[in-house]
């Protein structure tokens, strides 16, 4: 019986994530069997691996919300054997076995073709982080976010979503104010396209329900007080995309920015993005939205065993940019 090397998380008798070999027939469910080339490590994955967040919906489970590789068994799907495909979100690594495995089996409606213009490595350098950053722009453009409304503040700017959002928004003509406590990364963030790089304290935000309008929009990865104060400083008809909770899941605000300035608070949920939009956004990421410094965004490439220590480092806020996971199946 053929097996797959993987990282599997269980909660009995105690919570543990470990390197294992699993029979391929016992991995996942669905029509399409994929030989995985690359995955990536996201903050959500680190929460699942370490048990710091309630990410996994059942146990034991293989985490990993991203995967890119070649089709081995297409089943009833329209895909061809050996075709390069990718899967991000949709429940991968949350409701069923995910990308930290040499092989994955998933429902056919989770799979999209790898767009021309992207290699598997590039696709996973983007991964859920890059897709989420692009989804922010997609959502904001739907409600008329334009560069002339003012600068875009990107919090958690040294993380995966933030660092790629800087590049994508910069390439689309926006002035970017990057916010990061990691002062050793500020020069890098400027290289990627940030006009200004500051710490949260440098912003000198007010605490009133409605403050001076300073920002055209916000991409927030942090939550909590920082998000509350940024909403109060957003310009007329600006948009605030709520992406993450690295600081806090709480949000204490008032309706004042919404009813007096027309500010919109946009939820960005990449895991369950409709498939038509998902495919359209990935096509843009392969072409006009492809970050100029994509390769430069990779901080580290690890094997499966390396996922465990890198997850701990990510939770401890000792990482930046993107961490790729290279599987044994990867041809490059």
Give the CATH number of the domain where residue 222 resides. Answer: 3.40.50.720
217, 252, 267 - which closes a domain: 267
86, 99 in Cβ contact below 8 A?
no
Model confidence, pTM: 0.94
Query: 101-130: string of b/e by CB count within 10 Å (b at 16+)?
Result: bbbbbbbeebbbbbbeebebbbbbbbbbbb
d(CA 189, CA 117): 25
- Same domain for 250 and 314: no
**What DSSP letter does each residue of 207-271 carry, written as one string?**
-SSS----EEEEEESS-HHHHHHHHHTEEEEEEEEE---SS-S-----SHHHHHH--EEEE--ST
- Same domain for 177 and 103: no
3-state helix, strand, coil in the chain (%, to 5): 30, 25, 40
- Same domain for 191 and 145: yes
Q: How far out from the chain centre does Cα 195 lie?
A: 23
d(CA 84, CA 196): 39
Q: Is residue 212 part of a domain?
A: yes
Distances (CA, A) of 240 to 105, 127, 137, 145, 218: 36, 22, 11, 10, 5
34, 87 in Cβ contact below 8 A?
yes
To which H or E segment does residue 282 belong? helix 275-286
d(CA 221, CA 161): 8
| Tens-level pLDDT at each residue, the chain (332 residues) | 699 999 999 999 999 999 999 999 999 999 999 999 999 999 999 999 999 999 999 999 999 999 999 999 999 999 999 999 999 999 999 999 999 999 999 999 999 999 999 999 999 999 999 999 999 999 999 999 999 999 999 999 999 999 999 999 999 999 999 999 999 999 999 999 999 999 999 999 999 999 999 999 999 999 999 999 999 999 999 999 999 998 999 999 999 999 999 999 999 999 999 999 999 999 999 999 999 999 999 999 999 999 999 999 999 989 989 999 999 766 66
- Same domain for 262 and 134: yes
248, 267, 286 - which closes a domain: 267
Owning domain of residue 174: 129-267
Burial of 252 (0-12, 13-18, 19+ CB in 10 A): exposed
- Same domain for 102 and 143: no
Q: Is residue 263 part of a domain?
A: yes
- Same domain for 74 and 19: yes
Q: Is residue 277 part of a domain?
A: no
- Same domain for 147 and 104: no
Spatial CB neighbours of 21, under 8 Å, sequence gap ≥ 6: 3, 4, 5, 6
- Same domain for 221 and 150: yes
Distances (CA, A) of 102 to 5, 17, 59, 225: 6, 16, 19, 41
- Same domain for 148 and 45: no
Distances (CA, A) of 135 to 76, 82, 300: 29, 29, 24
Query: 276-304: string of b/e by CB count within 10 Å (b at 16+)?
Result: eebeebbbbbbeebbbebbebbbbebeeb
Nearest to 176 by CA among 185, 184, 164: 164
Q: Is 329 helix (H, G, I), strand (E, B) or coil?
A: coil
- How many structural domains does the chain have? 2
């Amino acid at each position: 019986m053929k097996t797959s090397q993987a990282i599997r998380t269980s909660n009995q008798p105690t919570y543990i994530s470990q390197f294992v070999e699993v029979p391929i027939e016992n991995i996942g469910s669905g029509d399409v069997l994929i030989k995985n080339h690359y995955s990536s490590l996201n903050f959500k994955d680190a929460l699942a691996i370490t048990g710091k967040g309630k990410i996994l919906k059942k146990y034991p489970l293989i985490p990993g919300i991203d995967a890119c590789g070649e089709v081995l068994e297409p089943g009833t799907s329209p895909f061809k054997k050996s075709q390069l495909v990718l899967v991000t979100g949709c429940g991968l690594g949350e409701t069923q076995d995910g990308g930290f495995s040499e092989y994955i089996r998933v429902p056919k409606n989770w799979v999209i073709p790898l767009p021309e213009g992207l290699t598997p490595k590039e696709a996973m350098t983007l991964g859920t982080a890059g897709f989420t950053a692009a989804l922010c722009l997609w959502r904001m453009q739907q409600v008329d976010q334009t560069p002339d409304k003012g600068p875009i503040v990107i919090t958690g700017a040294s993380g995966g979503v933030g660092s790629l959002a800087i590049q994508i928004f910069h390439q689309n003509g926006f002035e970017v104010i990057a916010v990061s406590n990691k002062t050793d990364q500020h020069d890098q963030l400027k290289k990627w396209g940030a006009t200004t790089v500051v710490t949260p304290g440098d912003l000198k935000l007010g605490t009133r329900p409605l403050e001076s309008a300073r920002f055209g929009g916000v991409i927030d990865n942090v939550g909590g007080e920082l998000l509350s104060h940024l909403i109060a400083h957003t310009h007329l008809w600006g948009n605030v995309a709520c992406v993450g909770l690295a600081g806090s899941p709480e949000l204490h605000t008032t309706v004042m920015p919404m009813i007096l300035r027309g500010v919109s608070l946009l939820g960005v949920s990449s895991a369950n993005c409709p498939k038509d939009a998902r495919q359209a956004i990935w096509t843009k990421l392969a072409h006009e939205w492809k970050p100029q410094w994509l390769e430069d965004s990779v901080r580290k490439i690890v094997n499966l065993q390396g996922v465990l220590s890198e997850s701990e480092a990510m939770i401890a806020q000792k990482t930046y940019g993107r961490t790729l996971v290279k599987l044994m199946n990867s041809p490059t």
